Amino acid sequence: MLEVLEEQLVEYQGTLIIVSHDREFLDNVVTSVLVFEEDGKIEEYIGGYSDWVKRGKHLKIADTLDHPSGHLVDHETTSTAAAKKPAVKLSYKFQRELDSLPGLIDQLEQDIALLEEQTADPDFFNRPFTETQPVLDQLAEKQQALDAAAERWVELEEMKG
């Protein structure tokens, strides 16, 4: 049942705020984590809980807490031990996004090449503004999209380790 929920959340295109104690579930469905820092500020970190821990972060919880078993639990040590686990594979959502980026980047590069061919025509800038400006705007948009896609690809590859 949890896998079905994860798949539905991954497919959802809107924005959700998810609160869960299940760290693996969060790693599988979230794209960023909001963390209340010691100074009272809320910081956003790209990736899931494990990605946040890989950055050397850990929960700031009281050093000891009464456990139902009657034993004292050191949460700092527990979270630090979790940080030392081997790298975890990307969540389903991030892996799908990473897999789609090379195709998107390739398509954007092809679109840019076609637009640059148009602007390279010696008579291009002799045409009316109403003809040239849309091409230049489209070229700028495609270049911006390409830059964003390349940055995201690098970011996801770094997360992957």
Listed residues 21, 54, 83: the one ending a domain: 83
0.85 surpassed by pTM: no
pLDDT value at residue 39: 79
Closest to 29 in 3D by CA, of 48, 14, 43, 2? 48
Domain co-membership, 79 together with 9: yes
Per-position pLDDT tens, the chain of length 161: 677 887 888 788 788 888 887 888 888 888 888 887 777 788 887 888 888 788 777 666 544 444 444 444 444 434 443 444 455 578 888 888 888 999 999 999 999 999 999 999 999 999 999 999 999 999 999 999 999 998 888 888 888 87
Domain co-membership, 74 together with 97: no
Domain co-membership, 60 together with 37: yes
Domain co-membership, 105 together with 35: no
Distance of CA 50 to the CA centre of its chain: 13
DSSP three-state, residue 3: helix
Domain co-membership, 44 together with 98: no
CATH number at residue 145: 1.10.287.380
pLDDT value at residue 6: 78
Distance, in Å, from the CA atom of 87 to the CA atom of 60, rounded to the nearest integer, reads: 22
Domain co-membership, 114 together with 78: no
- What letter would DSSP give residue 91? P
Listed residues 83, 111, 127: the one ending a domain: 83
Domain co-membership, 7 together with 74: yes
Listed residues 65, 83, 101: the one ending a domain: 83
| Residue 127, token pair as written in the block | 């045409």
Could you tell me the residue range of the domain that residue 45 belongs to? 2-83
Write out the E strands in the chain.
32-36, 42-46, 65-66, 72-73
Domain co-membership, 13 together with 77: yes
Domain co-membership, 105 together with 40: no
Domain co-membership, 79 together with 97: no
Domain co-membership, 108 together with 139: yes
As for how many domains the chain has, the answer is 2
Domain co-membership, 71 together with 9: yes
